[in-house]
Homo-oligomer: A and B are copies of this chain.
Amino acid sequence: MIDTPLVLEPIGWVESPLVDPDRAPLQGDEGAPDAWLVFDDRVSAGLSELRAGTAVLVFTWLDRARRDVLRVHPRGDETRPETGVFSTRSPDRPNPIGLHRVEIVAIDGLRVQVRNLEALDGTPVLDVKPILGGTGER
């Protein structure tokens, strides 16, 4: 057990034409636009090996989500039975961490353009991880 609070420090922010949660696509491959990840200068040394044309996992903090929700109708569709949030991709959940698989389109210093990101403008970015290849390629 630990008793210090687990505090996230955003490493950057999403810059996107998506500003209205009610009009945003539910997943990146459902018509989400290109967006920019704008990183904080203090993490620049961590970014050097990112390359355009590669796919990465982006972790965000879904800051407009509700954290007191444990059951939802999947995809907001009330004809579908209520389901525990840990069996859905609902943004509403106790720790609203967004996971997005995106392709890097372009890199301009601390700004990284990615394809098909469904996160809203202003969303904090928490982490970027490579997609793991087979055990021989690590």
Contacts and interface: CB of A to CB of B under 8 A. Distances in A.
B95 A27 contact: no
Interface in A48-69: 48-50, 56-57, 59, 61, 63, 67
Number of copies: 2
A25 to B, nearest CB: 11
Interface residues of A, number: 53
Given A1-B13, A5-B7, A71 B99 contact: no
20 contacts: A6-B61, A6-B124, A7-B8, A11-B94, A27-B132, A27-B135, A45-B70, A45-B84, A46-B84, A46-B85, A46-B86, A49-B83, A49-B86, A50-B86, A59-B97, A86-B128, A89-B129, A89-B130, A95-B126, A95-B127
